[in-house]
């Protein structure tokens, strides 16, 4: 749990470093909003590609190894962004960093699913994924301290701190026992076939994979469209300086952290799907209201209330792994969520175009459509809390290992 929490915090910090640095990068390199949006898009394309590869790797070679590889890739290439000579260098480095970032969510979700009993998974995975606003908050604090005096390049160097978590995992984190038992079972049966991506599109799983990916894509379009441009929106359209903007971002992430705990509790009490529907309904209503506020004091206090409903990744973290048997759990959960990230890659670019023509407030308000689409799609997916999984033997094996 500690390793997954720290990994996801650094994952979040990496994403937020770019969003916080964008106003200064735009000014230094005289970029248009569309070109600046492509920097976010490049990273998200890398995320979408890596989710499939890292998920497959974790199912075949272990959760622990997959987590280490993800951390090394995005930690090193985020730090390397400090050396970027221009827009082309930075867009390449963001793409490569994204190849590491995409693996963390799916691997962490599978790890927790296989090490905690079912009646606690919603709360535990939501706690682990609440590292996201913690990572965002850390990035905002670092930006508040570093950028006014040393600029955005030194800020990116902080991304290399992910290597600390790699060292922790190497010394203290064992492999998932459920995954190890699955491999031993296959070896005893002389089964050498490896888990494949094709399995999550088998007759039994195809519908869940497609609808899960659509739901995640819609939610992530809404979220990343908002998140990438929110700091720039606060600076350019609400008149905040960089220092005050970071304080607004910190407050938003306080709200998001609280939201993760609320919706993690609800996921265990009233169901994963039901908690997600409430989350998406709240975001759909709150985003247009937030984008229309002109009073900065009201904007400050409404931020945490809006961000409570950005905690959808927590219930997703307990929901998606329960749709799949242990054999393809990392592949399936990672595919749904992170291919959704990849599909959402063009949201920053599109919103940059909308912002250029109609203003960023309009673009952020329109992101509510993404959350609405996610909620509608979830209506066609099953509830998993208290339900038998598709392959009960895999879930029973998971519970037996946990009890042992």
Could you list the mean pLDDT of each consecutive 10-residue stretch along the chain, which spans 404 residues? Answer: 91 85 89 83 80 80 90 92 91 90 81 82 84 85 87 91 92 86 71 69 91 94 84 85 81 89 90 94 95 90 93 88 83 81 75 80 90 96 63 44 46
Taking a C-beta distance cutoff of 8 angstroms, is the pair 210, 100 a contact?
Answer: no
Closest CA to 165 of 218, 107, 221, 126: 107
pLDDT of residue 344: 76
Domain span at 102: 2-403
Q: Domain of 40: which CATH number?
A: 1.20.1250.20
> Which tokens sit at 146?
């570093």
Q: What is the pLDDT of residue 7?
A: 92
The pLDDT value given to residue 284: 96
Own/partner contacts of 188-193, CB < 8 Å, gap of 24 or more, are none
| Closest listed residue to residue 236, CA positions, set 377, 356, 126, 147 | 356
pLDDT at 372: 96
> What is the pLDDT at residue 387?
44
Per-residue model confidence (pLDDT) at position 398 = 46
Axis crossing angle, helix 313-322 with helix 206-236, rounded to the nearest 10: 170
Which two tokens mark 187?
A: 């070896």
In the chain, how many domains are there? Answer: 1
């Amino acid at each position: 749990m500690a390793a997954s929490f720290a990994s996801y915090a650094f994952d979040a910090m990496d994403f937020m470093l770019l969003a916080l640095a964008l106003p200064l990068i735009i000014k230094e390199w005289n970029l248009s909003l569309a070109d600046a949006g492509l920097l976010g898009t490049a990273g998200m394309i890398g995320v979408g590609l890596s989710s499939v590869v890292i998920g497959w790797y974790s199912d075949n070679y272990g959760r622990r190894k997959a987590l280490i590889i993800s951390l090394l890739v995005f930690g090193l290439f985020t730090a390397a962004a400090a050396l970027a000579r221009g827009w082309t260098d930075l867009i390449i480095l963001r793409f490569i960093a994204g190849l590491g970032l995409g693996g963390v969510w799916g691997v962490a979700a599978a790890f927790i699913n296989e090490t905690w009993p079912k009646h606690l998974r919603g709360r535990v995975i939501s706690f682990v994924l609440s590292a996201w606003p913690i990572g965002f908050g850390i990035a905002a604090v670092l930006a508040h301290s570093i950028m006014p005096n040393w600029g955005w390049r030194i800020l990116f160097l902080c991304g290399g701190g992910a290597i600390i978590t790699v060292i922790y995992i190497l010394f203290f984190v064992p492999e998932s026992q459920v995954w190890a038992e699955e491999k031993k079972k296959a070896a005893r049966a002389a089964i050498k076939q490896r888990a494949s991506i094709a399995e999550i599109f088998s007759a039994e799983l195809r519908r869940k994979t497609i609808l899960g990916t659509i739901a995640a894509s819609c939610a992530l379009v809404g979220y990343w469209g908002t998140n990438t441009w929110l700091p720039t929106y606060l600076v350019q359209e609400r008149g905040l300086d960089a220092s005050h903007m970071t304080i607004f971002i910190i407050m938003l992430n306080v709200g998001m952290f609280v939201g993760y705990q609320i919706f993690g509790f609800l996921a265990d009490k009233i169901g994963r799907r039901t908690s997600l529907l409430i989350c998406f309904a709240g975001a759909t209503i709150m985003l247009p209201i937030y984008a229309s506020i002109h009073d900065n004091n009201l904007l400050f206090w409404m931020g945490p209330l809006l961000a409570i409903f950005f905690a959808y990744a927590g219930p997703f973290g307990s929901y998606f792994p329960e749709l799949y048997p242990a054999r393809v759990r990392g592949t399936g959960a990672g595919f749904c969520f992170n291919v959704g990230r990849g599909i959402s890659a063009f949201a920053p670019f599109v919103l940059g175009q909308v912002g250029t023509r109609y203003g960023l407030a309009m673009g952020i308000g329109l992101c509510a459509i993404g959350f609405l689409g996610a909620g509608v799609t979830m209506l066609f997916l099953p509830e998993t809390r208290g339900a038998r999984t598709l392959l009960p033997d895999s879930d029973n094996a998971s519970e037996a290992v946990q009890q042992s």
